[in-house]
C-alpha cells in the first residue's frame, strides 16, 4: 500500500483543501435538494410530487441531449487553456457552447411541443401534459446554468460553480414553497421555471465577471465549430449517464406509477450520500487531472488518481454504514408510506458506493481524452439500463427500478475501472506502485 506525504506533496494538499471547500458547498446544496424533495412531498402529496419529479427527469434528460456533449469537452478544453493562460480561447469556447446549446434547446422544445399537440397520449395521462409543457419552457435555462457551471469549474472557480449546482436552485424553490400556497404539480412547475431563470441569469453574470476585459471575436467563436466533432462522443456519454440516472423515474411515470416515482426519487437522492464525497472531490479532481495530462505530467496525474480513490473510500465508508443501518428511520421521517422504498434505498446506496471503490475512473478517462472509449462504455450501459428497466419495472415495480438502476451504475463504473488499468496501467484504489 502506498504512503503519501501530505505536508510535502503540494498536488495532494491542493486536492484535499479544494475537496473540503467543495464538500462544504455540497453539504449545503445536498441538504437544500433533500429538504426541497421533502417539502414537495409534504406540500402536494406523493401522487402530485411523482408527476413533478417525472417532469423534472424529463427536462434533465432533454437538457443533456441539447448540450450536445459540451459538458466534459468544456471542462477539458477550458482546463487545458487555463494551464497555458490562454483566456481568449476560453471565452470563445464557452460562448460557442452557449450559442449552439441554445439553438439545440429551442429546436428540441419546439419538437416536443409539436409532438404533444399531435399525439397527446404520449404524455401517458392527460394530467401530466400541462405540467410537462410548463417545465419544458425551463429547458434553455437549465442548460445554460449547467454550461456556465462547467465553465466556472474549468477555471477552478469552484465556489461559484457549486453555487450554481443545485444550491441556488434548491434554496430558491424552498423559499417559494415556504412563502406560497402550492397545491399541485402544475402550480409548482411555474415556480420551477422562475427558479431556473434566476439560476441562468446568475450563472451568466458570474461567468462574464470571471472573464472581464477580454475581447470577443464572433468569427473566432464560429471557428470553434470543429469542437462539434469532438463533442459528439461526449454527447453520447453524457446523455447515457443522464439516462442511466433518470430513466427509472421516466419508466415508472410512463407506466403511471407516479407514487412509486416519488418513492424512487427520494431513495435515489438519499442513496447518493454514499457517493457524496466522490461527487464533491471530483469537482476539484477533474480539472487538476486535465491540466496535468495537458502538461505531460502523467506520473503526477496517476498519483493524484490513486490518492483520490483512497481518500474517497476512507471518508465514504461511515456514510454507507449510516444510511444502511438507519434506512427505515430516514424514510419514515419523510412519510410512513415511504418505508416501502427501503430495499430500493439500500440497494441504490451500495450501487452509489461502487463509484467510490472504482475511483474517479470515468473522469480519468474523459480528461485523458478517451472520449470514444467512454462513449462505447456508455452505449453498453444504456442498452442494459433500458432493457432492465422496461423488463423489471413491468414485473416488480419499484424494486425492479432499484435493481435496474443500481446494476447499471455498477456495470458502468466497473467498465470504466478496468479500462483505467488497460490504458494507464493500474487500478486506482488497488495500485501498489507510488508514481
Q: What is the C-alpha separation between 120 and 143, in angstroms, rounded?
A: 25
Burial of residue 170 (number of CB atoms within 10 Å: 0-12, 13-18, 19+): buried
Helix (H, G, I), strand (E, B) or coil at 69: coil
The reported pLDDT for the residue numbered 8 is 46
- Nine-digit cell at 379? 452505449
Tell me the backbone φ, ψ of residue 119, rounded to 5 degrees.
-125, 70
pLDDT score of 312 more than 60: yes
The reported pLDDT for the residue numbered 280 is 62
Least confident of 240-249, 349-358, 408-417: 240-249
The reported pLDDT for the residue numbered 434 is 46
The reported pLDDT for the residue numbered 307 is 75
Q: Are 423 and 403 spatial neighbours (Cβ–Cβ below 8 Å)? A: no
Average pLDDT for 393-408: 91
Average pLDDT for 351-378: 80
Q: What is the C-alpha separation between 312 and 76, in angstroms, rounded?
A: 22
Average pLDDT for 112-116: 79
The reported pLDDT for the residue numbered 149 is 82
pTM score over 0.85 = no
What is the share, in percent, of the chain residues with pLDDT greater than 90?
A: 12
Give the list of residues 6+ apart from residue 196 with CB closer than 8 angstroms, or none: 138, 141, 142, 145, 169
Q: What is the C-alpha separation between 175 and 167, in angstroms, rounded?
A: 12
Give the list of residues 6+ apart from residue 336 with CB closer than 8 angstroms, or none: none
In whole angstroms, how far apart are CA 361 and each of 15, 292, 355, 411, 423? 16, 16, 8, 12, 11
Q: What is the C-alpha separation between 147 and 268, in angstroms, rounded?
A: 24
C-alpha of 173 from chain center: 19
Average pLDDT for 314-335: 85
In whole angstroms, how far apart are CA 217 and each of 76, 91, 101, 421? 22, 10, 19, 42
The reported pLDDT for the residue numbered 388 is 93
- Nine-digit cell at 33? 435538494
**Which is higher by pLDDT, 191 or 113?**
191
Q: Identify the band that residue 358 occupies on the pLDDT scale cut at 50, 70 and 90.
A: confident
pLDDT score of 349 more than 70: yes
Q: Report which secondary-structure segment, H or E, holds 267.
A: helix 258-271
pLDDT digits (tens, 9 = 90+) for 160-199: 776 777 678 888 999 999 998 888 888 999 999 999 999 9
Least confident of 192-206, 305-319, 402-416: 305-319
Average pLDDT across the chain, whole number: 77
Question: Could you tell me which of 162, 149, 159 has the C-alpha nearest to residue 63?
Answer: 149
Least confident of 56-70, 201-215, 252-266, 371-385: 201-215
What is the share, in percent, of the chain residues with pLDDT greater than 70?
A: 70
Secondary structure (DSSP) of 174-212: HHHHHHS---SHHHHHHHHHHHHHHHHHHHHHHHHHHTT
pLDDT score of 227 more than 50: yes
Least confident of 58-72, 346-360, 393-407: 58-72
pLDDT digits (tens, 9 = 90+) for 291-309: 676 667 767 777 777 777 7
Q: What is the C-alpha separation between 61 and 38, in angstroms, rounded?
A: 23
Give the list of residues 6+ apart from residue 388 with CB closer than 8 angstroms, or none: 403, 404, 407, 408
Q: Are 300 and 292 spatial neighbours (Cβ–Cβ below 8 Å)? A: yes
Q: Identify the band that residue 428 occupies on the pLDDT scale cut at 50, 70 and 90.
A: low
Amino acid at each position: 500500500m502506498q504512503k503519501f506525504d501530505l505536508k510535502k506533496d503540494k498536488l495532494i494538499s491542493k486536492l484535499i483543501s479544494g475537496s473540503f471547500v467543495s464538500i462544504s458547498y455540497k453539504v449545503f446544496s445536498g441538504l437544500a435538494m433533500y429538504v426541497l424533495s421533502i417539502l414537495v412531498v409534504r406540500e402536494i402529496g406523493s401522487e402530485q410530487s411523482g408527476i413533478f419529479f417525472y417532469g423534472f427527469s424529463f427536462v434533465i434528460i432533454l437538457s443533456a441531449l441539447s448540450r450536445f456533449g459540451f459538458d466534459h469537452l468544456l471542462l477539458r478544453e477550458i482546463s487545458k487553456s487555463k494551464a497555458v493562460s490562454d483566456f481568449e480561447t476560453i471565452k470563445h469556447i464557452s460562448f460557442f457552447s452557449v450559442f449552439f446549446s441554445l439553438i439545440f434547446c429551442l429546436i428540441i422544445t419546439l419538437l416536443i411541443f409539436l409532438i404533444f399537440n399531435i399525439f397527446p397520449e404520449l404524455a401517458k395521462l392527460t394530467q401530466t401534459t400541462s405540467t410537462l409543457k410548463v417545465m419544458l419552457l425551463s429547458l434553455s435555462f437549465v442548460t445554460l446554468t449547467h454550461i456556465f457551471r462547467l465553465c466556472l469549474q474549468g477555471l477552478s472557480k469552484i465556489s461559484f460553480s457549486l453555487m450554481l449546482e443545485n444550491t441556488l436552485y434548491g434554496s430558491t424553490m424552498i423559499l417559494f414553497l415556504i412563502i406560497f400556497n402550492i397545491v399541485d404539480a402544475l402550480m409548482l412547475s411555474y415556480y420551477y421555471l422562475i427558479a431556473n431563470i434566476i439560476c441562468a441569469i446568475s450563472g451568466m453574470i458570474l461567468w462574464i465577471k470571471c472573464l472581464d476585459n477580454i475581447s470577443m471575436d464572433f468569427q473566432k467563436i464560429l471557428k470553434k465549430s470543429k469542437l462539434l466533432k469532438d463533442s459528439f462522443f461526449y454527447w453520447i456519454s453524457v446523455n447515457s449517464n443522464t439516462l442511466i440516472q433518470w430513466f427509472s423515474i421516466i419508466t415508472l411515470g410512463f407506466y403511471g406509477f407516479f407514487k412509486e416515482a416519488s418513492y424512487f426519487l427520494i431513495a435515489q437522492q438519499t442513496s447518493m450520500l454514499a457517493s457524496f464525497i466522490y461527487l464533491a472531490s471530483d469537482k476539484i479532481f477533474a480539472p487538476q487531472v486535465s491540466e496535468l495530462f495537458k502538461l505531460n505530467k502523467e506520473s503526477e496525474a496517476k498519483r493524484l488518481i490513486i490518492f483520490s480513490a483512497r481518500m474517497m473510500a476512507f471518508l465514504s465508508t461511515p456514510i454507507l454504514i449510516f444510511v444502511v443501518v438507519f434506512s427505515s428511520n430516514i424514510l419514515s421521517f419523510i412519510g410512513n408510506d415511504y418505508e416501502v422504498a427501503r430495499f430500493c434505498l439500500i440497494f441504490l446506496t451500495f450501487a452509489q458506493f461502487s463509484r467510490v471503490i472504482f475511483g474517479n475512473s470515468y473522469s480519468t478517462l474523459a480528461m485523458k481524452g478517451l472520449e470514444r472509449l467512454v462513449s462505447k462504455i456508455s452505449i453498453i450501459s444504456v442498452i442494459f439500463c433500458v432493457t432492465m428497466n422496461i423488463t423489471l419495472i413491468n414485473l416488480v415495480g419499484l424494486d425492479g427500478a432499484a435493481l435496474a438502476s443500481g446494476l447499471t451504475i455498477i456495470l458502468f463504473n466497473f467498465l470504466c475501472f478496468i479500462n483505467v488499468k488497460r490504458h494507464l496501467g493500474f487500478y486506482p484504489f488497488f495500485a501498489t506502485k507510488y508514481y
